[in-house]
Structure 1
Amino acid sequence: MPLDATRNSLVLPLLGLLVEQPAHAYDLTARLRERYHHLTATRSTVTTLLKTVERAGLVTSRTPEQVGNRPPRTTYELTGAGFADFRAKVESGLADSPAASVDFTLAVAYAAILPADRAATILEDRATRLDGELGALHQVEGVREAHMLEVAYWHAIVTTEIDWTRTTARRLRAGGIDWPRSPERTDA
């Protein structure tokens, strides 16, 4: 886990799930596991992250409630600051994360929190940045191709991401994706 726990890759989807609805740690853990099989989400990690983002003012907790014979559970909900931080994390993940990264994938999952034009602009800028990275990929002179297969592999991965990113940005601008109206949160 990063020294600053709010930078943990699980924070973005955790906040994203709280945009959808307030929830307790058990529910959030189950939903993270269901949606993001590639992430390791344990209840203890989710609980720790919830407490961390609560201390940071991104979420607030309700008084624990007991339903039936279950132990009391604390429900968390996003604050205005949490919503703003979530949007900033989505923008940063779309713009700045490395090619083919989990952080980019998670940002894509929540890109619809942004206005379509904003998302399209960020994706276009990302494609331009990745074009530069692609241009820097090359075989090392005197080294057999068999010993540098990763260059061809990475070239294919980055090329595919550039193509997908540009196509998605074009579709957003043309209205070809049923994009929701971006929610606005002003509460603190």
Structure 2
Amino acid sequence: MPLDASRNSLVLPLLGLLVEQPAHAYDLAARLSARYGHLTVTRSSVTSLLKALESKGLVASGVPERVGNRPPRTVFELTDAGIADFRRKVEEGLRDSQVAAVDFTMAVAYAGILPAGHAMSILAARADRLDEELAALPADPQGVAEVHMLEVAYWRTIVATEIAWIRTLVSRIQTQDIDWPATEPRRTQA
């Protein structure tokens, strides 16, 4: 785990699950594993992250509760500061992450935390930036056999596909083809 727990790749989806509903570490670890099979998730890493996030005032813990014969479990929920940090992380992921990056995928997963207009603006600006990056990529490197430059065609395709997907998403948000959330998530004061 990175020394700065907030840089851990599990933080964004962990906060996202807490936006959906308060939960204990075991539940969060199970939901993260089920939803994001590409992430390495253990209950101990989730517990460590929750403690680090709590020390920063981003999540608040309740009193441990026992259900049946199970050990007592502490339920965590986001604070106002946690929701603000989550929104900032989603904005940064949508705006600044590299093409085809897991950070972008995780930010897209929770883009609904942002007002629709704000999300569209960030995504449209990303597509514009990627248009410039695509235009700067060489179309056909001169003097090099195509077989030695297959990655150029591959990367052009990846960038162009992401641009097209983003523009379609922006259009779908704009036409309200996607039922964008209009309510604020529940939270606790810290």
What is the TM-score when the length of structure 2 is the normalising length?
0.93
TM alignment of 1:166-185, pairs within 5 A: 166-183=167-184
**Within 1, Cα distance between the matches of 2:66 and 2:143?**
68
| Deviation string, structure 1 residues 18-69 (Cα, Å, up to 9, x no partner) | 1111111100000001111111111111111111111111001112112222
| Deviation string, structure 1 residues 54-106 (Cα, Å, up to 9, x no partner) | 11110011121122221111111111000100011111111111111111011
TM alignment of 1:74-153, pairs within 5 A: 74-138=74-138, 139-153=140-154
**Within 1, Cα distance between the matches of 2:94 and 2:18?**
20
2:65 partner SS: coil
Indicate if the aligned counterparts of 2:124 and 2:170 stay in contact, CA closer than 8 A: yes
What's the offset of the Cα at 1:177?
1.4
The aligned residue for residue 164 of structure 2 is 163
| Deviation string, structure 1 residues 162-185 (Cα, Å, up to 9, x no partner) | 001011112212222111104166
What's the offset of the Cα at 1:140?
4.2
Q: Which amino acid aligns with 2:36?
A: Y
Indicate if the aligned counterparts of 1:113 and 1:182 stay in contact, CA closer than 8 A: no
Higher relative contact order (CA 8 A, sep 6+): 2
What is the percent sequence identity of the aligned residues?
A: 68
**Within 2, Cα distance between the matches of 1:71 and 1:103?**
34
Indicate if the aligned counterparts of 2:79 and 2:188 stay in contact, CA closer than 8 A: no
Q: RMSD value over aligned CA atoms?
A: 1.6
**Within 1, Cα distance between the matches of 2:80 and 2:3?**
24
Q: Which amino acid aligns with 2:157?
A: A
What's the offset of the Cα at 1:141?
3.6
What is the TM-score when the length of structure 1 is the normalising length?
0.94
Give the stretch that moved more between structures: 130-139 or 156-165.
130-139
**Distance change >3 Å, CA 35–CA 170, structure 1 → 2:** same
How many residue pairs get aligned? The number is 188
Indicate if the aligned counterparts of 2:57 and 2:81 stay in contact, CA closer than 8 A: yes
**Within 1, Cα distance between the matches of 2:61 and 2:4?**
21
Give the stretch that moved more between structures: 104-113 or 166-175.
166-175
What's the offset of the Cα at 1:136?
2.2
What's the offset of the Cα at 1:186?
8.6
2:82 partner SS: helix
**Runs of 5+ consecutive residues of structure 2 not aligned to the other structure:** none
**Within 1, Cα distance between the matches of 2:106 and 2:136?**
26
Q: Which amino acid aligns with 2:126?
A: R
**Within 2, Cα distance between the matches of 1:68 and 1:175?**
45
The aligned residue for residue 3 of structure 1 is 3
The aligned residue for residue 31 of structure 1 is 31
Indicate if the aligned counterparts of 1:91 and 1:122 stay in contact, CA closer than 8 A: yes
